[in-house]
Structure 1
């Protein structure tokens, strides 16, 4: 019978935080980064957790001090459920009061039960797509217009689309498309993503009366065309049950890169 322990890393066991990364070059680069952060005081070892058994490292997690950044557990595919529960409980004990936990199928099995047993509550499921912007050409829509989020009519449209407080960050462009009646009916934005040479898109939405007319597909293609001017890749996601948006990704040659589960703490459910 295996005995499982969950303990913070030490300077000597820091390599265990990259032990499950298959690409050893990537693992070596991440380890160097961790050591640099540790030396510079940006990494606190008490915010790390390593799950071990008599077989070695079974999993690990880094708990960011910024509560808006979820915890991403990394686990072996065959880790026993009782070990997952132990790590999930330890994460819950250390996470910020509103910090979420995110399971990514590239890092851990998508099994909700052990996390729910530990006190986490499954909140949503998402899919992440990647698009090679060099593989094909995307059309610029002749009806698309660059708009200002602070224009009264655009701010009202943002309110109707559920993003009344949207602020367009530096480097981002807000685009509008008209519906059949000539009035603005769809909004989307494009800008730099979180990785080098990668764009991000916020397909804000299409007003209900104008849905089902292809506006979302046209707007997404236009935003991809703009992104291709500066970036090589686009990464974006949507709720797993959003069949319409997933069809848009498929039409534009995007590749399903990950499936994710978001959990909130039980006292928030």
Structure 2
């Protein structure tokens, strides 16, 4: 079978959304894309279509912003050969900071096909959503909260050291509008044993960072309590929580499941 990648013309522009199952959503996206092209906010060369003898195999939109990853959309039965061709075409135009993400509801998770195109595998993450209106989360009465300066407290620094964590582990650094939360042990005078943070994420969503639980205090429910406290705080301002955790972080995945979070997608990261 022969495979080619090309940018659409104005006449073939609808093909860029041909793999979207929802016709209404396809038409809506096409209308927005036409407006962006007409206004100069996007260009046809930033759109890619992968074709074969049987039709459209995949599509990709290339954002001018390098921090926006490639999220290719491909047929579930696409061959690895075709997938490699699209991934190589994207790599040839990628800046060094650009990432490519395979998401299981958009494309098969064929790691080898993307690596064959010259991308370097980074990690596999699982995405979760939480409906913050579906249940009530308990605030922990012993929780200590503060702004970024709280991270410099000696007791917080001692916990960070025990966790082997650095402040850089916050995505993009400590973010505006976020709050640090620490939990001590159950007995009066016990040191801090769990650390996290919460704050605004994408529109309508809150996010949490579960920095960790002291190695000597794991398996005692502290992570579940901390996560519930963070979700309770988010529920005061948001209706949804969304986040990622490593696919092999089974402890965190159990915590999310206990607190009503729903696994929505699996993502494979390349750089």
Corresponding residue for 1:211? 218
TM-score (norm 1): 0.89
Q: How does 1:161-180 map to 2 (within 5 A)?
A: 161=163, 162-165=165-168, 166=170, 167-180=173-186
Q: How does 1:42-61 map to 2 (within 5 A)?
A: 42-61=41-60
SS at 1:120 equivalent = coil
How far apart, in 2, do the equivalents of 1:21 and 1:75 lie?
Answer: 10
SS at 2:149 equivalent = coil
SS at 2:167 equivalent = coil
Corresponding residue for 1:190? 198
Root-mean-square deviation (CA), in Å? 2.0
How far apart, in 2, do the equivalents of 1:47 and 1:158 lie?
Answer: 43
Q: CA deviation at 1:156?
A: 6.1
Count the aligned residue pairs. 262
SS at 1:29 equivalent = helix
Q: CA deviation at 1:98?
A: 2.5
Q: How does 1:1-269 map to 2 (within 5 A)?
A: 2-151=1-150, 152-153=152-153, 154=156, 157-158=159-160, 161=163, 162-165=165-168, 166=170, 167-180=173-186, 181-194=189-202, 196-264=203-271
SS at 1:209 equivalent = helix
- Structure 1 residue runs of 5 or longer lacking an equivalent are 265-269
> For 1:150-200, what per-residue CA distance to the aligned partner results, in whole angstroms no more than 9, with x for missing partners?
232146655664232455433322222113553223222222222x42221
Instruction: Answer with 30-39 or 239-248: which moved more.
Output: 30-39
TM-score (norm 2): 0.89
- Structure 2 residue runs of 5 or longer lacking an equivalent are none
**C-alpha contact (below 8 Å) 2:111/2:121 kept by paired residues:** yes
How far apart, in 1, do the equivalents of 2:162 and 2:25 lie?
Answer: 44
Instruction: Answer with 253-262 or 149-158: which moved more.
Output: 149-158
**Residues 150 and 156 of structure 1: CA distance in aligned 2, closer, same or farther (over 3 Å):** farther
